[in-house]
Amino acid sequence: MDVLLDNLDVFREGFITTIQLFALAAVGSLILGTFLAMLRVSPVPVFRAAGTLYVTLVRNTPLTLVFLFFFFAYPLLEIIDLSYFVAAVVSLIVYTSAFICEVVRSGINTVSVGQAEAARALGLGFGQVLSHVVLPQSFRSVMPPLISMLIALLKNSTIAGGFSVREAGAIRSILSERGEDQMVTLLWIAAGFIILVMVLTFVQRTIEKRWSVAR
């Protein structure tokens, strides 16, 4: 307990930053991932090709390389100056959205084609069919894998600690400089992540009960 209590400020700052990273990246990934899924199922070949290219490229790129690009290569373009925190959020969004895209697309494929055809027969356009008929049902069916992707996002956020972002992944190196026991430090960090994952699991179960799909 001494390691935790004597360095409570470091743990508090680290996990607050981790939660902020996760929250912003989760929202951004869900939005971009859903948009990419819409491109993947679009009737326009160019849109489908663009979505497929993005997903294929990003899914086969290590997350560390995505971080390296936004922290070291992107600043050379001199477009928009990004802080380390914002660069970490953008990196997580770019990477995670490709995986969320495939989860959402699998959910879209579970919706009966007849429902989409019926909606089009009523005069709804492609965007309206997706937003009013297909996507609400698809999100219900893919909630477990979607939460799993968000849990993976939470754990992936620790990579930001290696890029000067003072989040939970950086706690070990900070306490190492203070001479604290590294094993105990890692155990407390692991305990913090277990609590956060338990919260996400509780959210998943709550949503599943409310959005249960009759089978």
CA Rg value for the chain: 20
pLDDT grade, residue 211 (50/70/90)? low
| Fold type of domain 16-165 | MetI-like fold (1.10.3720)
Confidence check: pLDDT of 20 > 90? yes
- pTM of the entire structure? 0.86
Per residue in 150-205, pLDDT (tens digit) is 999 999 998 988 887 888 888 888 888 777 778 888 888 899 999 999 998 888 88
Better-scored residue on pLDDT, 179 or 102? 102
Per residue in 56-80, pLDDT (tens digit) is 999 999 999 999 999 989 888 878 8
At residue 15, φ and ψ (nearest 5 deg) are: -75, -30
- For a pLDDT cut of 70, what percent of the chain falls above it? 96
pLDDT at position 212, please?
Answer: 60
Distances (CA, A) of 203 to 29, 136, 176, 198: 18, 18, 34, 9
pLDDT at position 194, please?
Answer: 92
Q: Name the packing angle between helices 143-156 and 84-110 (round to 10°).
A: 160
